[in-house]
Amino acid sequence: RKLAALQLVHPNVLARALKQGAVYQDEEVVVLNKPYGLPVHGGPGVKNCVTDVLPILAKMLKNMRAEPLHLCHRLDKETTGVMVLAWSKEAADRIRLLFKTRQVEKIYWAISVGHPDPAEGIVEIPMVEKEVRSHQPHYKMTLAPNYRLSPEDGRVLKIRKNCSAESAVTRYRILASSSACSLLELQPITGVKHQIRVHLAYGLGCPILGDHKYSHWNKLAPQKLPEVTLRRLKLEQSKARHLPLHLHARRLSLPLGASGGKWIDLVCEPPVFFHRTLRKLELDIDKN
């Protein structure tokens, strides 16, 4: 609840918090370290979101006559980290096209429950959104693989392609492992909704710590954690539902300017709760 408190403050207070989280600014863009629990867009039950305060933020960063900033891409509500805004619509359109044509290098950090095997690799499995039929019907992204194993003889069989499925590719590598968890570096090559979360949970069997949505398929329930993880976090399983999603947009590299001649590399530190979890789980990057 504390982490999501920015949703409830006055828009001016939110804009000031985002201004304090600015990590880079020039005549073309402003780069923020997006806080946890803050939606990018409005919707049912959303009191505050990033887009609502872009006019106020522009005035705080520039002057009272400044035009509103423009959103260049989006991050999920629970994801923290690098977020790019543009001063002009032309610059925003140009940067959106860079994302669409995969000319932006994106690096994420996540703490996973479990250790991916092998320790480094590529998950390349298409994804699709499906309805989960349970006592609480809801929608989730899931895998739509092109192949399956024959139950009779174990042969690899090609499946008829799901026409709604989107191609999804994620590179990953383990940076540190301890306490039945891993710190992972992730590079999504494509940009499908909830791609990293689904590839880790359903592709590698290692859901992100605090990802209560994708730790199960057919139910909405808190994530079940190993004993050693609960012990290190000083947490009871009954309180696991309060764990936030540990997914952070660590770095973005992209070309700026009309000619694309200015290449910038933007890095954002993970939030305090992420660092605290790393310490508790003894996921020491320096030792690895």
d(CA 29, CA 52): 18
On the CB side of 58, how many CA atoms lie within 13 Å of its CA?
20
d(CA 273, CA 157): 44
d(CA 207, CA 210): 8
Q: Can 286 be counted among the known catalytic residues? A: no
On the CB side of 107, how many CA atoms lie within 13 Å of its CA?
16
Angular region, 77: left φ>0, alpha ψ -120 to 50, beta rest:
alpha
d(CA 148, CA 100): 30
Q: Are 214 and 205 in contact (CB under 8 A)?
A: no
d(CA 18, CA 103): 26
Catalytic one among 52, 76, 265, 284? 76
Q: Are 212 and 221 in contact (CB under 8 A)?
A: yes
Token pair recorded at residue 29? 């863009």
| Catalytic center residues | 76
